[in-house]
Chain A
């Protein structure tokens, strides 16, 4: 199978094109790739290599991207090639930039450095992190697949040195309003976050910004930090730091429920000052507020309560507003209701998790590759069953591929497949924006929605939520418009989208 794409009126030198085709050629499922300017000679070469370029009108300033391989990777290979053309791998050498080859060398040139952001492959990451801690640097470990024992050791050493280790598997953090890894353009404000969940952090930040409230720091800990073996080491340090920080007026804690002993010690710590702390261990048991702690069930509620506290307003009024808004969402759903299966396709793990929580109270148990209850784990992540939601950030989808926040093409292909299932009536997906994310995730999904509608007409309702802000590189309003024009129904939060979608599918 082959796929051809043409970029008109452009020029790339052969070194750049070669570097890019090398990278595409290394993608799993790609058998052959060629990137060439459409000169006569190049076209002849491509034809003899077996590419069918007939019917294409090509001129010398057109770039031909040709890929051969397994059907399911071709679209991605093309879109990856296009991305690389925008920031070519070889560009560094002709932009005359010097990059140190060691952390020591980097620190010698930037002696004021205070953080190492590490995203190398998991098997090397711990050693790099250790070297950085020894140099007195705080560490953000984006890398995953770091052994548990290594994490425990790193955090023990960091504790002794008074340094933060954010991660492993920490994709998002904010320090003094600057985004590290995946992050949105949150306004600066008096709220501090500690988050064991990446898109959980993002959703709270976005929902607070919608309410006119900003944040100053969001300390990511990685998902495993709050488990028994790691003991909430980074989470606790984060809570301590933000409780004592005069720039933080309200503290919010976000993540899936910690191990019971860890949760206990975190809550004890959180109660130790008079500063209000909003606790959002989503999916945990519902608790009554007990000053200074406010307990919330979902991410939007965390944001609503934190925002109210930051503005000096009554958090219970904010909760009441949320309740009535959600009743309105349920009424809206009645108008679009159509009984059938709900399929969710997510790039954000916490968003998928929260959506399952909310949808299951309406539809009953939801299947997933990352289910709330192990009994409902999908046998095959690529084959949906009944009501289900798929987290495309899980390992089986990211081996040898870009993370779904960086590239939704795999997820988009699945959308078209789901729409063709005659028992499916609602498809739900997230659209996460921000630094580090794909430059136009809405288009990737909108294209798929349009292809799907060509096949299934109006039988399937497409529902989405854009987790992003105007200040993000993708510009939230533009992304929303693209989805709306494709006929997607947009809601104002991940929670609302899940509730709406589930209510529609209930019929």
Chain B
């Protein structure tokens, strides 16, 4: 990894050299003394209404190739039906779910994970969902959310490029989920039938 941009949710970017590694290995590492350059937790805030047309566009990913079964499941059967749904390293259903949870987190809302049956998906994807619920995500999404909250449109456009291209459909799934959360659809049923 050569830059903060490539980082995933369970990473901290710390300035320092070999000594840091040695300290880590010895178990002597003291985080409070270190300057952290990158910290993956999403900021929390009000998503600006003036940018609502941007995330409403993400709802239209449901019309794209490969999305229909996941989108239908969400609409007909609620969030729990998304777990493990669809092919891929991270099933598209998990991506949408993660995006939704992350979106709620940005809005400062809490979600009861106990309502989801996460055993239905594999460990990597399960971890992604759990991370999202804690407000942890890949840095392009963190960049996107920062830009959104600060209404920095130019950066927003740039981060969107990165996020939409993430994986083959993962990024778009994430964005779709986030849009559902931002649209105040926080009342989406998580367990229906």
Chain A interface (Cβ < 8 Å from any Cβ of B) = 93, 95-98, 100-102, 104-105, 107-111
Q: Which residue of A lies closest to B55 (CB)?
A: A105
| In the complex, B122 has a CB within 8 A of chain A | no
Instruction: Specify which chain B residues have a CB less than 8 angstroms from the CB of A102 in the assembled complex.
Output: 53, 56-57, 60
Q: Which of B20-72 contact A (CB under 8 A)?
A: 50-51, 53-54, 56-57, 60
Interface residues on B, range: 10 to 19
For A93, give its contact among B57, B157, B168 (CB under 8 Å). B168
27 pairs from A and B in contact (CB 8 Å cutoff): A95-B165, A96-B161, A96-B162, A96-B164, A97-B161, A97-B164, A98-B157, A98-B161, A98-B164, A98-B165, A100-B54, A101-B60, A102-B53, A102-B57, A104-B56, A105-B53, A105-B56, A105-B57, A108-B50, A108-B53, A108-B54, A108-B153, A109-B54, A109-B153, A109-B156, A109-B157, A111-B153
Q: Which residue of A lies closest to B161 (CB)?
A: A98
The main secondary structure of chain A at its interface with chain B is loop
State how many angstroms separate the Cβ of A309 from the closest Cβ of chain B.
43
For A96, give its contact among B50, B54, B156, B165 (CB under 8 Å). B165
Chain B interface (Cβ < 8 Å from any Cβ of A) = 50-51, 53-54, 56-57, 60, 153, 156-157, 160-165, 168
Q: Which residue of A lies closest to B54 (CB)?
A: A108
Q: Which residue of B lies closest to A107 (CB)?
A: B53
Q: Which residue of A lies closest to B59 (CB)?
A: A101
Instruction: Specify which chain B residues have a CB less than 8 angstroms from the CB of A95 in the assembled complex.
Output: 165
Q: Which residue of A lies closest to B175 (CB)?
A: A98
A101 close to B57 (CB less than 8 A): yes
State how many angstroms separate the Cβ of B67 from the closest Cβ of chain A.
12
Seed contacts A93-B168, A96-B164; 8 additional CB < 8 Å A-B pairs? A96-B162, A97-B164, A104-B56, A105-B56, A107-B53, A108-B153, A109-B156, A109-B160
Interface centre among A98, A104, A105, A109 (most CB of B within 10 A): A98
Q: What's the Cα separation between A339 and B98 when bound, in Å?
A: 78
Q: What's the Cα separation between A105 and B53 when bound, in Å?
A: 5
Instruction: Specify which chain A residues have a CB less than 8 angstroms from the CB of B160 in the assembled complex.
Output: 98, 109
Instruction: Specify which chain B residues have a CB less than 8 angstroms from the CB of A107 in the assembled complex.
Output: 53
Instruction: Specify which chain B residues have a CB less than 8 angstroms from the CB of A100 in the assembled complex.
Output: 54, 57
A108 close to B162 (CB less than 8 A): no
For B165, give its contact among A97, A101, A108 (CB under 8 Å). A97
Q: Which residue of A lies closest to B63 (CB)?
A: A101
Q: What's the Cα separation between A96 and B166 when bound, in Å?
A: 8
Q: What's the Cα separation between A107 and B54 when bound, in Å?
A: 9
Q: Which residue of B lies closest to A105 (CB)?
A: B57
B164 close to A104 (CB less than 8 A): no
A108 close to B161 (CB less than 8 A): no
Instruction: Specify which chain B residues have a CB less than 8 angstroms from the CB of A110 in the assembled complex.
Output: 153, 157
Instruction: Specify which chain A residues have a CB less than 8 angstroms from the CB of B156 in the assembled complex.
Output: 109
Q: What's the Cα separation between A109 and B157 when bound, in Å?
A: 6
Instruction: Specify which chain A residues have a CB less than 8 angstroms from the CB of B162 in the assembled complex.
Output: 96
State how many angstroms separate the Cβ of B153 from the closest Cβ of chain A.
6
